[in-house]
Amino acid sequence: MKSISDLGDLQGKRVLIRCDLNVPLDGSTITDDGRIKASLPTLNKLRNAGAKIIVLAHLGRPKGQVKPEFSLAPAAKRLGELLDTEIKLAGDVVGDSAAETVASLADGEIAMLENVRFEPGEESKDEDERAALADKYAAFGDVFVSDGFGVVHRKQASVYDLAAKLPNAAGTLVEAEVEVLKQLTEKPANPYVVVLGGAKVSDKLAVIENLIKSADTLVIGGGMLFTFLAAQGHGVGKSLLEEDQIDTVKGYLDQAEQAGKKIILPTDVIVAPEFKADAAPTTVTVDRIPEDQLGLDIGPESAQAFASVITEAKTVFWNGPMGVAEWEAFAGGTKAVAQALTEVDGLSVVGGGDSAAAVRDLGFADDQFGHISTGGGASLEYLEGKELPGLAVLG
């Protein structure tokens, strides 16, 4: 991949930059601006170079339709506050407003096109349709910078097709993400511990299979743990269970044992009679989950055991909360894992998505961790060994 410095003198040049500004919203209020903050170093670098900057980004899943609730206006406003400058937000993606907004830019100024996913061609499976939209994007710029790591695993017009049409480079965010992932996959310092949570085993099948080969220990929490418990013969009550994955999980447990790797599961869980924030929590051992209860977090004994394994590691990658972390009664496991990651004497990586939002919600600062990824899905696919289209096209 080429760096921004490889693009030469950018003074007065129009730089199209793909950012990931897909932030969580409560109405029009941003509840976690981590991804916006992560885009600042590259944008400042381009401003200092005197470029005319045109930001392409998405928000939510409008599926090719113009939906006001998915407007990038809140992101543009917050970005302007963080950079202490006006962000000129176009009223459309590639229409008259976009053309006028781009044409009005002076050196060092920033424009933002509306949500690229308002355009049906952005996510189209039809290559010609995507290419046609990418041509319209390309008409606005002289060079392209890829800095939206959270979308580099997608073959989309503003990520993949546009990069093929202009001189391109990776932004500093993408460079940093790839460097960390290389450390995790090529020569991780041992012990190497991977902590996986989240709802479903099926979302992480390929990454589990690949990591059994490279990691020393896999620690399993979240809703997915109950499929592992079922594979061991435990009853899981009303807990989330993917019955069609039980045999696959049994295979992973056998595979890990044969390879001399550890898969660590909880010994206790916190259960409740219903999926509600104010449901009454009870701690039970994993072999005594009541039939009329569902597990919503790992228990305190497990949280302590997980933390002990994590703090002894030299490399840790974590993706997925241990329980329903947005509810205080069921956030203890996630908080214990996050705290342990801050104490790692080595590389600690929070793998984006729900994990990144959870650590901030729980009061942790980004700089307490070695790295917080901006792209959970992209990180996982990299760790699965997949080629990411948005990276492969660069250079």
Does 14 count as an annotated binding residue? Answer: no
Q: Is 395 helix (H, G, I), strand (E, B) or coil?
A: coil
Query: Average of pLDDT values for 350-357?
Result: 84
Among 114, 147, 171, where does a domain finish?
171
Q: Do 204 and 271 share a domain, yes or no? A: yes
Give the tokens for residue 385: 């060994």
Q: Do 65 and 214 share a domain, yes or no? A: no
Range of lowest pLDDT (23-37, 141-155, 288-302): 23-37
Q: Is 200 a catalytic residue?
A: yes
Structural contact between residues 53 and 15, judged by C-beta atoms closer than 8 angstroms: yes
Q: How confident is the model at residue 355 (pLDDT cuts 50, 70, 90)?
A: confident
Is 148 part of any domain? yes
Is 393 part of any domain? no
Give the pLDDT score at 157: 98
Q: What is the CATH number of the domain that holds 55?
A: 3.40.50.1260
Q: Do 329 and 186 share a domain, yes or no? A: yes
Does 294 count as an annotated binding residue? Answer: no
Q: How many CA atoms lie within 13 A of 323 on its CB side?
A: 32
Bridge-based pairing state of the strands 14-18 and 25-26: unpaired
Query: Average of pLDDT values for 193-207?
Result: 90
Is 225 part of any domain? yes
Does 18 count as an annotated binding residue? Answer: no
Structural contact between residues 308 and 337, judged by C-beta atoms closer than 8 angstroms: no
Q: How confident is the model at residue 395 (pLDDT cuts 50, 70, 90)?
A: confident
Q: Do 193 and 153 share a domain, yes or no? A: no
Convert the pLDDT of each residue in 105-131 to its tens digit.
Answer: 999 999 999 999 999 999 999 999 999
Query: Average of pLDDT values for 323-341?
Result: 97
Give the pLDDT score at 375: 86
Choosing from 141, 353, 376, 390, the catalytic residue is 353
Separate counts of helices (H) and strands (E) for the chain? 14, 17
Is 315 part of any domain? yes
Convert the pLDDT of each residue in 52-105 to its tens digit.
Answer: 999 999 999 999 999 999 999 999 999 999 999 999 999 999 999 999 999 999
Does 60 count as an annotated binding residue? Answer: yes
Give the tokens for residue 183: 């450390």
From CA 13, how far away is CA 356, in angstroms rounded?
A: 35
Q: Do 200 and 342 share a domain, yes or no? A: yes
Is 102 part of any domain? yes
Among 171, 197, 217, where does a domain finish?
171
Q: Do 316 and 261 share a domain, yes or no? A: yes
Sheet bearing 294-298, strands edge to edge: 282-285, 268-272, 294-298
What percent of the chain has a predicted confidence (pLDDT) above 70?
Answer: 100
Among 148, 171, 194, where does a domain finish?
171
Choosing from 13, 14, 18, 35, the catalytic residue is 35
Does 22 count as an annotated binding residue? Answer: yes
Per-residue pLDDT at 165 exceeds 80: yes
Is 391 part of any domain? no
Q: How confident is the model at residue 294 (pLDDT cuts 50, 70, 90)?
A: very high
Choosing from 34, 370, 377, 386, the catalytic residue is 377
Per-residue pLDDT at 376 exceeds 90: no
Per-residue pLDDT at 372 exceeds 90: yes
Give the pLDDT score at 200: 87
Does 130 count as an annotated binding residue? Answer: no
Q: Do 258 and 298 share a domain, yes or no? A: yes
Q: Do 16 and 87 share a domain, yes or no? A: yes
Give the pLDDT score at 235: 97
Convert the pLDDT of each residue in 235-284 to its tens digit.
Answer: 999 999 999 999 999 999 999 999 999 999 999 999 999 999 999 999 99
Q: Do 136 and 107 share a domain, yes or no? A: yes
Q: Do 195 and 98 share a domain, yes or no? A: no
Domains: count for the chain: 2
Is 394 part of any domain? no
Does 61 count as an annotated binding residue? Answer: yes
Q: Do 115 and 250 share a domain, yes or no? A: no
Give the pLDDT score at 357: 85
DSSP 13: -
Does 198 count as an annotated binding residue? Answer: no
Does 383 count as an annotated binding residue? Answer: no
Residue 361 belongs to domain spanning: 179-384
Does 141 count as an annotated binding residue? Answer: no
Is 299 part of any domain? yes
Per-residue pLDDT at 353 exceeds 80: no
Q: Is 377 a catalytic residue?
A: yes
Within 215-331, residue ranges assigned H as helices are 225-231, 246-258, 300-311
Per-residue pLDDT at 352 exceeds 90: no
Give the tokens for residue 267: 């010994």
Average pLDDT, the chain: 96
Q: Do 158 and 189 share a domain, yes or no? A: no
Q: Is 14 a catalytic residue?
A: no
Does 295 count as an annotated binding residue? Answer: yes
Choosing from 200, 250, 261, 386, the catalytic residue is 200
Q: How confident is the model at residue 201 (pLDDT cuts 50, 70, 90)?
A: confident
Q: Is 213 a catalytic residue?
A: no
Give the tokens for residue 353: 């998505």
